[in-house]
Structure 1
């Protein structure tokens, strides 16, 4: 390989890594317009293993917008990224596959009917536990990215949820 080809491969890897990071940020921030822009026009996402839908990026963005209203705090962590390049229509390296693990802690909204002093008392009683996520899940993503005139875009995202944990809430913490 020439240095120019090696540099192009490194730049592609960085661009794809940035695309995957942007995916996590758009979901965490609830920026559903930006979420849709990460995909090719025919892009799809499959959240069926996590109780969601398998549909176009636009349809999934709508579903996510409703589903994520339950969790005003969410923090997607996507790690252990394994990237391989493939071929599409005889063009080398225009297709990329990324396998990556995720952990996603989320919180339900706090009880807006509870008084501030009751919330403060519950927080003191629970100590560090009061900041623990109410819902946490983990699994593996399979991303397929395609090089386009606008840069790398997602063609397919498949979520394979492997586990989830729900922390019971006390009466003072119950969502409204």
Structure 2
């Protein structure tokens, strides 16, 4: 591998990492316009394992906006990212697969006050499919595989 190819690979890995971080930030911030912009025109997401929907980025963004509205405090932690560049039309590096684990703690809003219990935490694994576009790397596919969830109720009293 030449130094030029190695440098290009490093730059691509950084760009892919930024895209995954931007994805998490868009969900946490409820920035659904930014969320949709992260996807390629044919991009889709599948949240069915977490009780959600599967569809194009606009459909899924609308579901997320409604589903996450009761949780004003949320923090998406996406870790253990494994990036693999693949071949598309005989050109190495035009697509990528990323597998990453996640933990997502969220907090429900209290009536008229700051966020309060019960807490909701879930974890699992993402499978991201990415494609290089003229505008940079974009998501072609996001599949959520929720592995666990916990909701902590406070005692009534």
TM-score after normalising by structure 1: 0.85
CA deviation after TM superposition for structure 1 residue 92, in Å: 1.1
| Aligned 1:156-175 pairs, distance under 5 A | 156-171=141-156
Please state if 1:154 is matched with 2:111: no
**Aligned partners of 2:66, 2:43: CA distance in 1, in Å?**
20
Task: State yes or no: 1:99 paired with 2:84.
Answer: no
- Which deviates more, 156-165 or 81-90? 81-90
Judged with a 3 Å threshold, the aligned counterparts in structure 2 of structure 1 residues 66 and 54 are, in CA distance, closer, same or farther, namely same
CA contact (8 A) 1:23 1:35 kept: yes
Cα deviation for residue 60 of structure 1 reads 0.3
What's the offset of the Cα at 1:136?
Answer: 0.1
Measured after TM superposition, the shift of residue 91 of structure 1 is 1.7
Per-residue CA distance 1:6-28 (angstroms, 9 max, x = gap): 00000000000000000000000
Higher helix share: 1
| Aligned pairs, number | 157
Distance across 2 between alignment mates of 1:18 and 1:133: 32
Q: In the alignment, which residue of structure 2 is the partner of 1:90?
A: 90
1:76 aligns with 2:98: no
How far apart, CA to CA, are the structure 2 residues paired with 1:58 and 1:74? 21
For structure 1, which runs of at least 5 residues remain unmatched after alignment? 120-129
Task: Tell me the distance in 2 between the aligned counterparts of 1:131 and 1:15.
Answer: 36
Deviations, residues 68-124 of structure 1 (Å, cap 9, x unaligned): 101110000000000101111222110000000000000011122xxx8xx9xxxxx
| Counterpart Cα distance in 2 of 1:161 and 1:71 | 18
Tell me the equivalent position of 1:56. Answer: 56
CA RMSD in angstroms comes to 1.7
